[in-house]
Amino acid sequence: MSHVHARPLCVAILAAGQGKRMRSALPKVLHPLAGRPLLAHVIDTARELGAGAIQVVHGHGGERVTEQLADAQVGWVEQAEQLGTGHALMQAMPAIADEASVLVLYGDVPLTRAETLRALVTAAGDDGVALLTAELEDPSGYGRILRAADGGVTGIVEQKDASPAELAIAEINTGMLCAPAARLRAWLARLGNDNAQGEYYLTDVIAMAVAEGVAVASVQPRSVDEILGANDRRQLAALERIYQRREAERLMDEGVTLLDPARFDVRGRVRAGRDVTIDVNVVLEGDVQLGDGVHIGANCVLRDVQVGDGSVIHPNTLIERAVVGRRCQLGPFARIRPDSVLDEGARVGNFVELKKTHLGAGSKVNHLAYVGDTTIGRAVNVGAGTITCNYDGVNKHRTVIGDGAFIGSDTQLVAPVTVGENAVIGAGSTITRDAPAGELTVSRARQITVRGWKRTIKKGKEER
């Protein structure tokens, strides 16, 4: 949209309601949608609009809200008593300049598209009011939009104050509106609470605007999903599914194959290259970047991970805060813990745990191993059952394995320890001192055979 609004935009987010129906100790707006508080999504949308200022009206569990969203860079306003939406907005007005346009959002309505709100701000213009409305098959519970014979909005009536004829109106008030600050301030000052709920209704300002001859426009969202709030956990779950479907569709539009878009969850920000394939029950959290041709098998969880082109993550693999290079293979059943880096062509197989480990290009840790606090060079083979003993009960120590080394199966590397380039460690060794480059180092009891030894046998049993 090319329209440049003449007034600075201030977003006021109403978030003081208790949310009784959540039956929760957690304030409603802190309940997570896609892993982040509902309110954080609304703040993101306000940011996306380029709002000059964002004021959040909080009340119930206020400290938890401001603490958890301390980095949000918004103005916090407390509404000590919840006396209605008009009263809530009134609390925010002292922080809002007269020349601003005020856009009102709800902290528990997280799926409104920025483009819808831009249209709302544009419809309000410099001096008018705009309401976001929707036609619902079942409008019960919502305020209804009253219109004159010529179609112009004349006011809003709340469900509890409505006549039977008004209750039959299908067009509802979503609660989101835009109005010039100076006018809003004057209208709010005149609000009364003589209504069925004894509350100061923000919705009453509409009739005041109409009485003053101020234009009241209305805008509808592209989809009804955009106006849905989370009043109970069923609604929250429904919002989660809508959010996830949107994310899945966005990724498919960008060229990602999802074997089942309904069994795929994003809780963060995902960027994917071309021809990425994601199997069922994959969860992507935090910041995830997937290169071209990456394939993720079923039941994988990736949190804050970068995966290079052509890498394959086999089923049931968990990767956290790691960088996986190009053409790597991980899993099935691998666990990559934070601060691990895999260079090109590295392989980590089943039942292998890596922590703070750099695995060089083409190196392999294929079966049943724990490798922590370790630097592994290129083309190293770490045998099955190898363990780095990186912790002495007090401190962590590093293991260093040079290029081309071969670590025999069931080896314990007691850190701090270094295995030189092209060194070979015999299977079953406990390595407590550095192993020199290019040599075979082995530390295990020599095998002996006791000739003629007899097994004890139970009485009455024949000797075989």
Site for ligand UD1 in 29-68 (CB under 6 A): 57
| Residue 183 structure tokens | 């006018």
> Which C-beta is closer to ligand UD1: that of 4 or that of 165?
165
Residue 463 zone, left/alpha/beta (φ > 0; ψ -120 to 50; rest)? beta
CA distance 367 to 345: 17
User: Under a CB-based contact definition with an 8 Å cutoff, are residues 430 and 408 in contact?
Assistant: no
Angle at 57 between CA 145 and CA 212, to 5 degrees: 40
Question: Per CB under 6 A, does 108 bind ligand UD1?
Answer: yes
3-state helix, strand, coil in the chain (%, to 5): 20, 35, 45
Please tell me whether the peptide bond between 332 and the residue prior to it is cis, using omega within 30 degrees of 0: yes
Least distance CB 395 / ligand UD1 (angstroms): 50
Single residue of 203, 317, 390, 399 touching ligand UD1 by CB under 6 A: 203
For ligand UD1 (CB under 6 A), the number of binding residues is 27
> Which C-beta is closer to ligand UD1: that of 239 or that of 384?
239
Least distance CB 98 / ligand UD1 (angstroms): 23
Single residue of 9, 10, 12, 14 touching ligand UD1 by CB under 6 A: 14
Angle at 109 between CA 107 and CA 113, to 5 degrees: 115
3 is catalytic: no
Active-site residue (options: 5, 60, 367, 397): 367
Question: Per CB under 6 A, does 172 bind ligand UD1?
Answer: yes
Site for ligand UD1 in 126-155 (CB under 6 A): 142-143
Single residue of 62, 155, 175, 291 touching ligand UD1 by CB under 6 A: 175
Single residue of 34, 40, 100, 156 touching ligand UD1 by CB under 6 A: 156
CA distance 360 to 450: 44
User: Under a CB-based contact definition with an 8 Å cutoff, are residues 317 and 298 in contact?
Assistant: no
CA distance 398 to 401: 10
Single residue of 7, 12, 17, 279 touching ligand UD1 by CB under 6 A: 17
Report the residue count for the chain. Answer: 464
CA distance 262 to 120: 32
Closest residue by beta carbon to ligand UD1: 143
> Which C-beta is closer to ligand UD1: that of 176 or that of 336?
176
Which region, judged by CB under 6 A, interacts with ligand UD1, from 65-73, 75-83, 92-100, 350-358? 75-83
Q: Which residues are catalytic?
A: 367
